[in-house]
């Protein structure tokens, strides 16, 4: 079983739709959870960061972490064509002391059609 699983998509939605992106993980020591957005041929940019379980909202974006299920989600409300990108989940907090290393999902390619 891979440490982090992420559905690669591609996911295609109409403008204005609610988008749900998800990752599951196997390492129960993960405590820090991130979502990065990567436009084509660009470096990833940090979108959301959460610590432990719970929700965090920032504008149209909501990140959820459920540590009991080892499941994290990113919701995008009122999706826009400018949201078209690859979304990468990342996490860290290995109890072995390597909390400086991020483990990434493979990314989900999202297209929002006008």
Partner 1 sequence: DGGITQSPKYLFRKEGQNVTLSCEQNLNHDAMYWYRQDPGQGLRLIYYSQIVNDFQKGDIAEGYSVSREKKESFPLTVTSAQKNPTAFYLCASTWTHQETQYFGPGTRLLVL
Q: Sort strands 103-104 and 85-92 into parallel, antiparallel or unpaired.
A: antiparallel
CB of 6 to partner 1, least distance (A): 8
User: Using CB under 8 A, which of the segments 10-18, 56-64, 71-79, 92-100 binds partner 1?
Assistant: 92-100
Phi/psi at 68 (5° precision)? -65, -30
Using the rule CB under 8 A, which residue among 11, 13, 17, 102 binds partner 1?
102
CA distance 80 to 86: 14
Interface residues with partner 1 (CB under 8 A) are: 6, 8, 32, 34, 36, 41-46, 49, 88, 92-93, 99-102, 104-107
């Amino acid at each position: 079983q891979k440490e982090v699983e992420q559905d690669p998509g591609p996911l295609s939605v109409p403008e204005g739709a609610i988008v749900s992106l998800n990752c599951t993980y196997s390492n129960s020591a993960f405590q820090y959870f991130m979502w990065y957005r990567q436009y084509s041929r660009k470096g990833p940019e940090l979108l959301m960061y959460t610590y432990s379980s719970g929700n965090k909202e920032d504008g149209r974006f909501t990140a959820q972490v459920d540590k009991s299920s080892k499941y994290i989600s990113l919701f995008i409300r009122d999706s826009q064509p400018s949201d078209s990108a690859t979304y990468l989940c990342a996490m860290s907090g290995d109890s072995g002391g390597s909390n400086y290393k991020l483990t990434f999902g493979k990314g989900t390619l999202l297209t929002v059609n006008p």
